[in-house]
Every structure is written in C-alpha cells, then in structure tokens.
Amino acid sequence: MELVNTLKTVQRPVPLAISITGSWMKGHPKDFAWLLLQEKEGNISITWINHSYHHRVSKDLPLKENFLLEKGTKISDEILLTEKALLNKGVVPSPFFRFPGLVSDRAVFDSVLAYGLIPIGSDAWLAKNQKPQSGSIVLVHGNGNEPIGLKKFEELLTSQRDSILAGRWILFDLRESMAADEQP
C-alpha cells in the first residue's frame, strides 16, 4: 500500500494493471479478496490482465522452450481458464494479456491475438535494471517473487516524491489507451 499512500493526495483511485494467473487466484483467495476490497473502497482501480492460468516456468529449459512455449501447453486453457476464474469472482477481464516471462513466439503470439487479446509488454522491468521513462509500462512483481524489484519501486517512489506531490508524476490507466477517440 506504499504506492497508494504515496499517490493518494494527487491520484485516487490509483490505477494499477495487475497481471494475474488463475493458479495464483486459486492459491491466494484472501490476497485476491483484499485486492477487490481495496478497489471497492476506492483506493485502487484495477485493470486485470490475463497472465495465463499456470505460468509454467523451468530454470532448466531455454527460453525457446519455456513458459508458454513449454511442450504440451494448451494456449486455450491458459487463456480461458484464467478468464473463467475472473468471471466466477465477478471480475470482468480486460482485453490485455501479458506473456509469462515476457516470452513468446510467433505462433503463441498469434494464438493470443486470435482470442481477441492485446499482448502487453514492459519496457521497465525494475528487477532487470530497466529504467522507467515517461509512458513506460513498469513491471514489478508485487507477489514477492522479485524482492529487488519491489525495493527499486520503493526507491523510485521516494526519488519522485516531490514530482508526485506536485502532480507531475502520475500513473495512467492502461484502459485509457483503448478509449475511443472522440470527434466533435
């Protein structure tokens, strides 16, 4: 809640894009309920991004065979089971999809597109020392998988505190990038 506490004087609710897996929802029902409560209380506004159901990863496999590229992966299950899990909790999924590990190939990418989803990447994965710029999609694993990324995000908030309080440093709602262009 450091983010919300830092931004709440200039931006409330704080827009967050949360990439979520169906298996995380299943394994962390209290955490998921807490996120929904924070949204209900107006602290945050969540764009729920499909992040696959299982998020398989193997430190023994090369990237070209890892994550969604792992042999036997059914893309339909990875997409649809997560959407079903969200809908069963009363949450409408966004049209966005983030590849686990940010890894895909042309066939997987095209499969995601065929479901009408828009792949989302990141140009500022903090745990990998990528520096955010204006308009960046910042990647932080809030689930604790990458403590260094959380530490760097806290440092970013601290370093930008004056800009945040002046309203010059804000977060944008990813859904706004999909808004129809209004013509007079």
pLDDT band at 46 (very low <50, low <70, confident <90, very high): very high
**Sign, CA torsion 116/119/120/125:** positive
How are beta strands 124-125 and 138-139 bridged, if at all? parallel
Q: Spell out the domain ranges in the chain.
A: 2-122+170-175
The stretches of the chain forming alpha helices (DSSP H) are: 2-7, 22-27, 29-40, 75-88, 106-114, 147-159, 161-165
Helix, strand, coil shares of the chain as percentages rounded to 5? 45, 10, 45
Residue 41 has pLDDT above 90, yes or no: yes
- Name the amino acid, one letter, at 56: R
How far, in Å, CA of 34 to CA of 37, rounded?
5
Residue 180 has pLDDT above 80, yes or no: no
Q: What's the pTM value of the predicted model, to 2 decimals? A: 0.90
How far, in Å, CA of 66 to CA of 33, rounded?
31
Query: Which among 30, 36, 32 has a CA at the least distance from the CA of 22?
Result: 32
* Residues with Cβ within 8 Å of residue 156, at least 6 apart in sequence: 126, 132, 138
- How crowded is residue 139: how many other Cβ atoms within 10 Å of its Cβ? 23
Percent of the chain with pLDDT over 70: 96
Per-residue confidence (pLDDT) for residue 166, from 0 to 100: 87
Per-residue confidence (pLDDT) for residue 184, from 0 to 100: 54
pLDDT band at 181 (very low <50, low <70, confident <90, very high): low
Per-residue confidence (pLDDT) for residue 183, from 0 to 100: 55
Residue 152 has pLDDT above 70, yes or no: yes
Domain 2-122+170-175 has CATH 3.20.20.370: yes
